[in-house]
A and B are shown apart, each in its own frame.
Chain A
Amino acid sequence: MSDERIKQVSAIRRAMIRPELGAICGTILVFVFFFMIAGDSGMFSAEGVQNWGVVSAQFAIIAVGACLLMIAGEFDLSVGSMIGFAGVVIAILSVQWGLPIWLSIIAAFVVCMAIGALNGFLVIKTGLPSFIVTLAFLYILRGLTIWLSILTTRQTIIGGVKEAAEGDPLAWLFGGVIFKGLFQWLGDIGVIETFTRGSRMGQPVVDGIPMLVVWALGLVIFGHWLLTKTRFGNWIFASGGDAQAARYVGVPVNRVKILMFMFTAFCATVFATCQVMEFGSAAADRGLLKEFEAIICVVIGGALLTGGYGSVIGAALGALIFGVVQQGLFFAGAESSLFRVFLGGILIFAVIMNTYIRRMITGER
């Protein structure tokens, strides 16, 4: 009983029609745009690439967590506050209490993932929308962060982490760069520019791949693999697509959702730790608005706000678009406030396009 009304789909169309399509088009557009208006401004030199690469990587780290959580059917609005909170926890434990950095970092991960689990637990047990529960934690965590840092240091910025991190066995994972030798060699043979004077004379302007970028790539690859290739990934889709239908066939929906809240908290803590290691300080106002930026990346990447559909690769491209636009406008010498206008425009455009693509794939009406 083959149905004559189903048209055969061409291989090209099948390869094209995927959740990331909108983000792929957007990425190409953004790159072409900035090649044209800022191609000669140094935006695409090694240093320029590092500049927007790091910014994009920051977005990507939190976008991966937000993406998997959104596909599982939930939101986390406490990501930004969690970033501030995790940073202050690390700084207080290491600088104020004198604990080694590695222990402070582990403690921050444990505490933040426990809060993530609490978020998930409350959402599951109360049946309230995660929007409300995590909105509460947006305020609770931000308030606690400011209170804790003023209580222990009488200020909202805690410095001295860099000194404490010297020679630490874990801190290098979150700060600094890798492949220094390779980049030095690239500098020596002239592929990358080198400093021509000053104390770093002869060193390449980009001295390696920042750990932040390594984390971003690692998380994107892990998230993509988990979502598309594993049993757990199938459960993430199922939990967000229709939790009740998933329960009826034995998918442990509650466990999946709580684990995704914990993973989002993990990503936020990675972000916070990298930031603390880079600046050598923690501040109570770090991570402001990051929750929305993460959600924007995910939505540009083709995910459905109501869950059950999306792509980690798409979210990563969303983060890339975000980073390139933010830094590109700076390189182009545009008024920096225009960044938000541009971003809002991209957001609307991406969502309309993604809605159309999704209808083609899923037959939803």
Chain B
Amino acid sequence: MSTPLIEMDNIEKHFGPVIALGGVSFNVMEGECHCLLGDNGAGKSTFIKTMSGVHKPTKGVMRVSGQDVAFSSPRDAMEAGIATVYQDLAMIPLMSVTRNFWMGREPRKSFGPFKWIDFKHANKVTMDEMSSMGINLREPEQAVGTLSGGERQTVAIARAVHFGAKVLILDEPTSALGVRQTSNVLATIDRVRKSGIGVIFITHNVRHAMAVGDRFTVLNRGQTHGTAKRGEIKPEELQDMMAGGQELAQLEGSLGGTV
């Protein structure tokens, strides 16, 4: 077995008296999609924020490609190749696709002391990267606000991939999307995985997870309930582990298995 791209070893995170994470272990391999499932309040956000350098773990070790690391800012995590796509905060709707795509890392041309953005190059790369993700933009100057939710997620994913992400953390990328847009995003995840990037897919939708996941880890009340490989676990079992079982099983009986 090769070294994981990122490995979280027995991570704990306390906020004052609250134990948000009580010893979570998690890793992701090259070209794999590892789904992190959990209900609201399970500690998913805290966990991804720890991975992406927003929070520092109280206890535990993080390793990137086998090396111990300690991130002090999101910038450190990005430099280590860990890119996070947040659900609502991926894009700025009033700005053009190109401006969003290059935000923070604009390519520049210069003449003497004057430096300006090389829009020709930026536009071309944006169009190419988007079409490699299966989205043909009308024009790179169109505002992100004119794109659908799924397309916005895809721009954010394409951006992370273009800037050399080795690990891509997706925070509930499908939870606000319609059926068709969801399948587009899932297809994008599959495409990204095949290019050798490790994907961490956070969701509370078991069906979405089962569609693309290679491994599944369930987080409940700050603890992991173990990791299962694809084919070793049924969707119902994942659902039970997330919700703590009992009540939902009863509810499912009365709803006829639709939850």
Contacts and interface: CB of A to CB of B under 8 A. Distances in A.
B92 interface: yes
A217 to B, nearest CB: 18
A335 interface: no
Nearest to A237: B95
Interface size range on B against A: 20 to 34
A344 B74 CA distance: 46
B117 A242 contact: no
A237 B147 CA distance: 18
Contacts of A37: none
Contacts, number: 88
A180 to B, nearest CB: 30
A229 B117 CA distance: 6
B104 A250 contact: yes
Interface in B105-146: 105-106, 108, 115-117, 119, 134-136, 138-139, 143, 145-146
A215 interface: no
B86 interface: yes
Residue with the greatest number of chain A CB neighbours at <10 A, chosen from B74, B116, B119 = B116
A309 interface: yes
A256 to B, nearest CB: 11
A234 B99 contact: yes
Given A230-B115, A363-B146, A248 B86 contact: yes
A249 B74 CA distance: 8
Contacts of A234: 95, 99, 102-103, 106, 117
Interface in A309-365: 309, 361-364
B145 A231 contact: no
Contact of B89 (A225, A244, A362): A244
Interface of B: 74-75, 78, 84, 86, 89-95, 99, 102-106, 108, 115-117, 119, 134-136, 138-139, 143, 145-147
Given A231-B116, A238-B92, A251-B104, 11 more contacts: A229-B117, A230-B115, A231-B115, A231-B117, A234-B95, A234-B106, A237-B92, A237-B94, A237-B95, A238-B103, A248-B74
